[in-house]
Structure 1
Amino acid sequence: MSGPTSYLFVPGHRPDLIAKSRRSGAGAVVIDLEDAVAPADRPAARRAVRAALTAEPVPGQQLWVRINAPGSADAEADLAAIGDLLTHARVPKVDDPGQLDWVAARASRLTATLPAIESATGLLAAPAVAAHPLVVRLGLGGVDLANDLGCDGSAAALAYPRSVLVVASRAAGLPGPVNSVFAQLDDPDGLLTHARAARAIGFGAQSALTPRQLPAIHQVFGLAADRLIWAREVLGAFEAAGGAACRTPSGEFVDLPIAQEAQRILAAV
C-alpha cells in the first residue's frame, strides 16, 4: 500500500493560494482551518473550503482539510460548515481513537482520516489510532511534539517518536507516515536533511508549506531511477532462478526477502 509523497498545506482563508496549490504538482493538498488561520478568519475560511470541496477535482491529487482539534468549539464549527462534504480529514492533536469517531459522527461522507500525533500521550496511543478503520496514514506533528517532550526537535531527538509511528503504521498495514513540515522556507539543504532523516527511518511522505519545497520532497521520497533499475534486476534474476536464491548479473545475492523488497518498490510505481 502506498500514498502521496507530498502533502502541501495552504491557509483556508486564502482562495488564491488554494487555487495555486491545486496546480502545484503536490500529491495531496491540505487546506488548513487550524494553525494557519487566525480565529477571526475562520468563518471566511470555512466558506472558502466549502467552495474548494465542490470544485472540479484535480486528477491524481488528493484534497484534504485539516480541521481544528476534535472536541473543540472550532472543530464543531468546522464540521457544521463542511461536514456534509468532507471525505478526507487531517485531524490534529490525536491521542485517542475515539476522537476520530467524534469527527466521523459529524461528517457523513468521511472515508479517510490522517491523524497527527503531537504529544507523548499520542505516541503511546499510536498503535490503537493506526488500527482505526478510518485511518489511512499517520502524521507527525513534529513542532508540537518537541514542545510536549521538551526536546530540541532534531533528527536525533525525534528518532524514537518517528520509529514509533513507523512501527504502528506497519503493524496496521498503513503506508509509511507523513513527516512534519520544515519551517525554514529558504533552506533547501536543511529541508533535504530533515526529509532524509525521516525517510531513513521508514517515513513515506513529507508535509510542505510552499510549492518551492516540493522538488526536494519528491527527490527524497520519490522512487529514484537507480532504485527502480535495482528492483527490476533483482526480480529478473529471482524469476529466472525459479524463485530460488541466486545472484544478479551485478553480483548481488538475492533471496525471498530481497525479492519481496524489489516487488514492493515496483508496486509503488
Structure 2
Amino acid sequence: MSVETVQTGKVDVAMARSWLLVPAIGSEAIAAAAASGADALIIDLEDGLPFAAKEEGRACAAAWLERHAGWVRIGDATTAHWGRDLDAIRGLPGLQGLMLSKTETPEQVRDTAGEMPGVPIVALVESAAAVVAVDDIARTRPVVRLAFGIGDYCRDTGAGRSPMALAYARSRLVNASRAAQIGPPVDGPTLSPDATVVRDDTRLAREMGMTGKLTLAGEQVPVINTALAPDALDISWAEATIERLGADGARVTHGGHLPQLARAHDILRRAEHFTPRP
C-alpha cells in the first residue's frame, strides 16, 4: 500500500489511532487535550464551536498554531465559515493538516487544497451523498484519510447507530480507502462515557477495517489507543506465523499462507510504530 508519510506528532498520519476534537474555546482546553496522549489533536472550528464564538475561536486556534502543533477541523465548503476558517490559519507554522467537514464532492477537496497548498486533508464523510461519492473523494489529493461523521450521517439518512445500521457506510469507507491507497479510515466518536462501551466500539471499528477513531473526550484516548494497537496475542501470532512461513515466504505451501504472512508483517510494523522509544 503506497501511503504518503505525513507526521502528526510522533505518529504517521496513516497509523494515527486517536483523533481528539477540542473546541477552540481557550488555550487551557487545547493544552489539556494536547497532553492527553492522543495521536492527533484537532482544534475544532466547526460543530464544537457555537456560532457566536466563531471569530474568537479562529483567533484562539491561530494563537495556538503560532507556537504548537495541531490539526484544524474547518467548516464545510458550502458555508462562509470555510473561507474565514482558512484565512485565520493560513501559513501558520504549527498547522499539521485540515479536517474538512461534511465533504461531499472531490471539488470541495480540490478547492480547499487550492487555498492551502501542500496541507494534508482528512475528509469527513457525513451524509448519504458523501458515501455515494466516497471513492472519488478518497482518490482526490491531498486526502490522506477518510473519517466517518456518524452523528450527521444518522441525521441525514435516518439510520440508527447500531453496528448493523452503520455497517454499509463503514465498509464503503474501508474499501474506498484501500482502493485509493490511502490510510484506513477513522471511525466516528463514541458518545458514552463508559470505557467498556468505548473499547467495544473501537474493537468493532478495528474488525471492520478501520484503524483510527474520533473522540470528544481526552479520557477515551488511552482506551482507543490500546484497542487499536496490536496486543500481546496479536504479536505472538504474527511472530509465530513469520517463523513458520519465513519472513520472505520461503516456506509458503498454499494460497492461504501469503495473506497470513502479509497480515503478520503489518501487525509487527504497527506494534513497532507504537512502542515508546527512550
TM-score (norm 1): 0.90
Long gaps (5+) in structure 1: 58-62, 248-252
For residues 135 and 242 of structure 1, the distance between their equivalents in structure 2, rounded to whole angstroms, comes to 33
For residues 28 and 38 of structure 2, the distance between their equivalents in structure 1, rounded to whole angstroms, comes to 16
Q: CA deviation at 1:245?
A: 2.4
1:166 aligns with 2:174: yes
Question: Could you tell which deviates more after superposition, 255-264 or 3-12?
Answer: 255-264
Q: CA deviation at 1:105?
A: 2.3
Name which structure has the greater RCO, CA cutoff 8 Å, separation 6+. Answer: 2
For residues 30 and 134 of structure 2, the distance between their equivalents in structure 1, rounded to whole angstroms, comes to 31
- List aligned pairs for 1:136-155, cutoff 5 A: 136-155=144-163
Q: CA deviation at 1:103?
A: 1.2
Question: Could you tell which deviates more after superposition, 225-234 or 124-133?
Answer: 225-234
Please tell me whether the aligned partners of residues 37 and 222 of structure 2 are also in contact (alpha carbons under 8 angstroms): no
Q: Please give the secondary structure, in 2, of the residue aligned with 1:137.
A: strand
For residues 189 and 142 of structure 2, the distance between their equivalents in structure 1, rounded to whole angstroms, comes to 23
Please tell me whether the aligned partners of residues 137 and 177 of structure 1 are also in contact (alpha carbons under 8 angstroms): yes
**Partner amino acid, structure 2, of 1:21:** A
1:227 is aligned, of 215, 219, 234, to: 234
**Could you give the per-residue CA deviations for residues 12-33 of structure 1, whole angstroms, max 9, x where no partner exists?**
1221110111111100001000
**Partner amino acid, structure 2, of 1:197:** L
1:206 is aligned, of 210, 213, 224, to: 213
**Partner amino acid, structure 2, of 1:95:** E
2:186 is aligned, of 173, 178, 186, to: 178
Q: Please give the secondary structure, in 2, of the residue aligned with 1:88.
A: strand
For residues 53 and 46 of structure 2, the distance between their equivalents in structure 1, rounded to whole angstroms, comes to 10
Look up the match of 1:125.
133
For residues 266 and 224 of structure 2, the distance between their equivalents in structure 1, rounded to whole angstroms, comes to 20
Q: CA deviation at 1:193?
A: 2.5
- List aligned pairs for 1:46-57, cutoff 5 A: 46-57=58-69
Distance 1:240 1:106, change over 3 A: closer
- List aligned pairs for 1:1-269, cutoff 5 A: 2-57=14-69, 63-85=70-92, 86-108=95-117, 110-184=118-192, 186-239=193-246, 243-245=250-252, 255-268=257-270, 269=272
Please tell me whether the aligned partners of residues 110 and 140 of structure 2 are also in contact (alpha carbons under 8 angstroms): no
Please tell me whether the aligned partners of residues 243 and 256 of structure 1 are also in contact (alpha carbons under 8 angstroms): no
Please tell me whether the aligned partners of residues 13 and 42 of structure 1 are also in contact (alpha carbons under 8 angstroms): no
- Cα RMSD for the two superposed structures: 1.9
Distance 1:241 1:155, change over 3 A: closer
Q: CA deviation at 1:71?
A: 3.1
Count the aligned residue pairs: 257
**Partner amino acid, structure 2, of 1:10:** V
**Could you give the per-residue CA deviations for residues 28-57 of structure 1, whole angstroms, max 9, x where no partner exists?**
001000011111111111111112212144
Q: Please give the secondary structure, in 1, of the residue aligned with 2:143.
A: coil
Question: Could you tell which deviates more after superposition, 21-30 or 1-10?
Answer: 1-10
For residues 47 and 101 of structure 2, the distance between their equivalents in structure 1, rounded to whole angstroms, comes to 10
For residues 249 and 264 of structure 2, the distance between their equivalents in structure 1, rounded to whole angstroms, comes to 16
Q: Please give the secondary structure, in 2, of the residue aligned with 1:95.
A: coil
Q: CA deviation at 1:66?
A: 0.1
Q: CA deviation at 1:241?
A: 9.0
Look up the match of 1:250.
none
Q: Please give the secondary structure, in 2, of the residue aligned with 1:7.
A: strand
Please tell me whether the aligned partners of residues 238 and 254 of structure 1 are also in contact (alpha carbons under 8 angstroms): no
**Could you give the per-residue CA deviations for residues 94-149 of structure 1, whole angstroms, max 9, x where no partner exists?**
110110112122224x4210001011110011000000120100000001101111
Q: CA deviation at 1:162?
A: 0.3
Look up the match of 1:60.
none
Q: CA deviation at 1:203?
A: 0.6
